[in-house]
Amino acid sequence: MKKEFNLLANGVKIPSIGFGTYKLGENEKAVNTLKHALEVGYRHIDTAAFYGTEEAVGMAIKESNVKREDIFLATKLWNDCHGYENAMNAFKESTKKMGVDYLDLYLIHWPNELNADTWRALEDLYTEGKVKAIGVCNFKIGHLEELKKTAKIMPMTNQIEIHPGCTQKDMIEYCKENNIQLVAWSPIMRGKILTEPIMIELSKKYNKTIPQITLRWHIQNGIIPIPKSSNEGRIKENFNVFDFEISKEDMLKIDSLNKNENVSGVPENTNYLKY
């Protein structure tokens, strides 16, 4: 049951699980954690200008035995970098911090009034070959429809909060129709999934941990989860999800946990969530 890559609209391969770096820190421990994740087999790293982890990510890539071209590296521009020139500068800043000359995926972190101008910068970076793919995060269907009016290239990914407590079925449907790959942040609900009785039952049935069942549920739904962990054992555990299959019936049981629940708030300075 091994399926390690998904294909983006432009044919670029994206590993079907990624490693999240929010709250990983920016010190030697973070570098070692990232090197461990690469040793375990993760080949997709999700960072952001906002996380303060870009330098650690760059250092870990340099110090690891994995070649740069074998790593799918994604980062995001923060809310104070919208607009064409600011976005171009944010790209330069992020790549400089990581010591890389291209990105695999560059993302808008949160929607903003200036989406159209910012997106034009991402399109230019893509056309110039400086990024292999471009995408957005936290865009609702309305934001994507509005972007469609001015975009020459549509986002190849949308990274949003998805987990059993927030299944996002409408967005999944929309992204399928529009060939946009969904990436799930907080895929294991920042740990809140661990006490859910249905998940405890499924964990016993499949002889897998609750995070493994949850991550497998994402992958079988065609969604790319990017779990974060600073713990060596849990990093390995979260990657070990390619040797079993959840039945259709059990997939539906997990779907039934949906409460449209958010496990994290939106940043205070995000004022463009009108959709």
Ligand X SMILES: NC(=O)c1ccc[n+]([C@@H]2O[C@H](COP(=O)([O-])OP(=O)(O)OC[C@H]3O[C@@H](n4cnc5c(N)ncnc54)[C@H](OP(=O)(O)O)[C@@H]3O)[C@@H](O)[C@H]2O)c1
Q: Which listed range, 169-177, 200-208, 216-224, 229-237, lies at the site for ligand X (CB under 6 A)?
A: 229-237
Q: Is the CB of 137 or the CB of 166 nearer to ligand X?
A: 137
CB of 202 to ligand X, least distance (A): 15
Q: Is the CB of 127 or the CB of 269 nearer to ligand X?
A: 269
CA dist 26 to 52, 59, 63, Å? 6, 10, 15
Size, binding site for ligand X by CB under 6 A? 26
Site for ligand X in 132-171 (CB under 6 A): 137-138, 159
Q: Which listed range, 18-26, 54-62, 113-121, 168-176, lies at the site for ligand X (CB under 6 A)?
A: 18-26
Note whether 112 binds ligand X by CB under 6 A. no
Per-residue tokens: 112: 């903003």
Cα separation of 98 and 63, whole Å?
A: 12
For residues 49 and 75, is the Cβ–Cβ distance under 8 A?
yes
Note whether 187 binds ligand X by CB under 6 A. yes
CB of 32 to ligand X, least distance (A): 13
Catalytic annotation present for 206: no
Cα separation of 257 and 202, whole Å?
A: 13
Task: Give helix 210-220 / helix 248-255 axis angle, nearest 10°.
Answer: 100
Closest C-alpha among 56, 50, 217 to residue 137: 50
The binding track of 195-214 with respect to ligand X, each residue x by CB under 6 A or -, is ----------------x---
The binding track of 28-47 with respect to ligand X, each residue x by CB under 6 A or -, is ------------------x-
The binding track of 56-95 with respect to ligand X, each residue x by CB under 6 A or -, is ----------------------------------------
Q: What angle do CA 17, 23, 24 make, to 5 degrees?
A: 70
Q: Which residues pair with 13 in a beta bridge?
A: 7
CA atoms in the 13 A half-sphere facing the CB of 254: 30
Candidates 22, 42, 51, 206; catalytic one: 51
Note whether 22 binds ligand X by CB under 6 A. yes
* Gyration radius (Cα) of the chain, Å: 18
Cα separation of 161 and 118, whole Å?
A: 22
Cα separation of 272 and 254, whole Å?
A: 31
Q: Is the CB of 128 or the CB of 156 nearer to ligand X?
A: 156
The binding track of 236-255 with respect to ligand X, each residue x by CB under 6 A or -, is -xx-----------------
Q: Is the CB of 54 or the CB of 237 nearer to ligand X?
A: 237
CA 127 to centroid of chain Cα atoms? 22
Residues of the shown chain interacting with ligand X in the complex, contacts defined by CB under 6 A: 20-22, 46, 109, 137-138, 159, 185-191, 211, 226-231, 234, 237-238, 264
Catalytic site positions = 51
